[in-house]
Amino acid sequence: MHAHHPSRRPATDLEPQLGRALPVVLPALLLCDFGHLAHEVQRLETGGAAGLHLDIMDGRFVPQLTYGRVVVEAVRRATRLLLEVHLMVEDPDRVIGEYAGAGADILTVHVEALRDPGATLQRIADHGVRGHLAVSPGTPVERLAPWLEACDGVLVMSVEPGLGGQAFEPLALDKLRWLAARRSSPQQLRLGVDGGVSLATIGPAAAAGAELIVAGSAVVQAADYGAAILDLERRAHAALSGASR
């Protein structure tokens, strides 16, 4: 079994596509007004979002059931922003082609749901999409070690997947630091964090290495999406410049 496949690496680095230096906030659409989806996407784009995070939940891998491919296609029609599609589903291999075809730029799959992470990451790469691994709070980050060269990024869950509104789990910071210390370069392995992100938690997350920072209620429950994104990203960059001094 090969831990990494020389044939994969569809990925160029993300910063040109995101249009600015990392870290960036990726607003999660889960709490948006789905009755006016295109309008919500436009509000986020106009507000300066560098990309969007779409949570796909199947009611089996996680208790909650959310939207599927049709919504991803609708979001892709509404924007040219980077889309990270987070597959919180059993047997994600079955739907990789579906979501790659729907317009995902990043497909994020849970290591807990995979029989052969290397084969899954190769399948994602074969569709010309970036493959990221997600790791849930209860899973030791060391479990990702064999696949760090094979994936384009890691999403550290700072809450249990599948339920919104949970508090940020500080153990995520240790996982981010562990990952940051083991990548050959930031371009080779982009680190993300998802869950409980707020003005209070985004600084420590950024300082620990998070670059693609998923924010749900902190953005879409604010009156002004643009101001919320700007405040969060300023806090993240400030923490980074503080950490480097």
Q: What is the DSSP string of 23-63?
A: PEEEEBGGGS-GGGHHHHHHHHHHTT-SEEEEEEEBSSSSS
Please determine, for residue 8, whether its predicted confidence score (pLDDT) is greater than 80.
no
Asked if the model's pLDDT at residue 70 lies above 80, the reply is yes
Task: Note whether residue 7 is domain-resident.
Answer: no
Q: Which two tokens stand for residue 108?
A: 């994020």
Higher pLDDT, 38 or 162: 38
Cα within 13 Å of Cα(182), Cβ side = 17
In a domain, 190, yes or no: yes
Confidence tier at 99 by pLDDT (50, 70, 90): very high
Q: What does the alpha-carbon distance between residue 38 and residue 208 come to, in Å, rounded to a whole number?
A: 34
In 63-103, beta strands by DSSP E: 82-88
Residue 183 confidence (pLDDT): 93
pLDDT of residue 26 exceeding 90: yes
Domain count within the chain: 1
| Distance, CA of 149 to CA of 153 (rounded, Å) | 9
Query: Which residues constitute the domain of residue 115?
Result: 15-244
In a domain, 1, yes or no: no
Q: What's the CATH code of the domain at 86?
A: 3.20.20.70
Is 194 considered catalytic here?
Answer: yes
In a domain, 6, yes or no: no
Residue of 33, 55, 105, 231 marked catalytic: 55
Check whether 210 has a pLDDT greater than 80.
Answer: yes
Whether 4 is covered by a domain: the verdict is: no
From the candidates 58, 105, 152, 194, give the one annotated as an active-site residue. 194
Residue 133 lies in a domain: yes
Q: Look at residue 121 and tell me whether its pLDDT is greater than 70.
A: yes
55 is catalytic: yes
